Copies of this chain bind each other. A is one copy, B any other.
């Protein structure tokens, strides 16, 4: 076994999930994530934790959902035949085993890495939605644990990233095997700046792309130092971003990093904001998918998140939001739902059924200002060597 698999497991168990002796840990292992599953089990045994291992197979899930579709075909909509009348199968609410499992768990470690990122492509979206809707209690119980989501580098994820397998493994371990303590300290400086500030302005002026000049209020909002650990209320490994919940956005922004929305590749998004709302938009590709996001509901035209990517182990776009939004020298803005952690107690932020992140490279011809003061120029933060205020 590559020693980095064991190191990945140690970061996941110790830094991210903070597992202690006696903890009940549920681990979900995807089809091709066996090796990391083995390393995690070994680490959990060593720490004196208890482990229950789920098989997080996309093909098994797909088969179950396709079976449910077949079982509900020809139904009369009376609820007796597993068909709730809208064509989608009906599912029992919060099945006892799943609920009991997560309610009893202290931590949940999800190890992604299947054999085919589009393994469930032929399941009707109504079926998925019906399944998800019937599992809200299960999901809440799962979110109440110290949960962490990570991936094992697989050929399928390499393919999605457009990379060779060996190359992709280097990429993943560069992203995951950081000095998290040091990065958390550095991100704390960014969090402080955002917490103290009232207004953020992002400017990029590049010859080869439309300009960005966008301002937003962050007064009264609290930034999250997402340092890949439940101790920081951060549930992704890798992580490495600081994010907050902006409002009253004005100006325009160009996003040069491509993204995938509902299986459609979307590129070169341009948004124009007035009075906090998107009033005009365009995309070089996938404009229809973008339009349908923005038309979801009222909140879908307002920003829910401003995130500063600070993980310099991530140096390229791999079509996976787990990595892309944490890329060093990028910022991202998300239209849609805001995270509660960024809001004052009792206040509700932007609400929406969607949350779609859009990413800009800020490594060149770019600056980020807080209350008129430059905090990052051309990717370099003001506390770093080489910063030019």
Enumerate chain A interface residues (CB-CB to B < 8 A).
Answer: 21-22, 24-26, 29, 31, 34, 37-39, 41-48, 50-55, 57, 59-61, 63-71, 82, 89, 91-92, 95-101, 103-105
Contacts and interface: CB of A to CB of B under 8 A. Distances in A.
A65 B57 CA distance: 24
A45 B67 contact: yes
Contacts of A24: 95-97
Given A46-B70, A67-B45, A101-B52, A57 B37 contact: yes
Contacts of A59: 34, 38
B22 A98 contact: no
A89 B51 CA distance: 15
17 contacts: A22-B92, A24-B95, A24-B96, A26-B97, A29-B55, A29-B60, A38-B63, A42-B67, A45-B65, A45-B71, A47-B71, A48-B71, A50-B95, A54-B54, A96-B104, A99-B104, A100-B101
Nearest to A92: B50
Contacts of A101: 52, 97, 100-101, 104
A37 B55 contact: yes
Nearest to A82: B48
Given A55-B54, A97-B52, A97-B105, A67 B41 contact: yes
A191 to B, nearest CB: 34
B60 A38 contact: yes
Given A45-B89, A50-B91, A100-B103, 9 more contacts: A21-B82, A44-B67, A46-B68, A47-B71, A50-B96, A51-B64, A53-B55, A97-B105, A99-B104
Given A52-B54, A100-B101, A34 B34 contact: no
A161 to B, nearest CB: 24
A378 to B, nearest CB: 46
A303 to B, nearest CB: 38
A41 B310 CA distance: 41
A61 B34 CA distance: 12
Nearest to A21: B82
B45 A68 contact: yes
A69 B41 CA distance: 12
Contacts of A44: 64, 67
Contacts of A54: 52-55
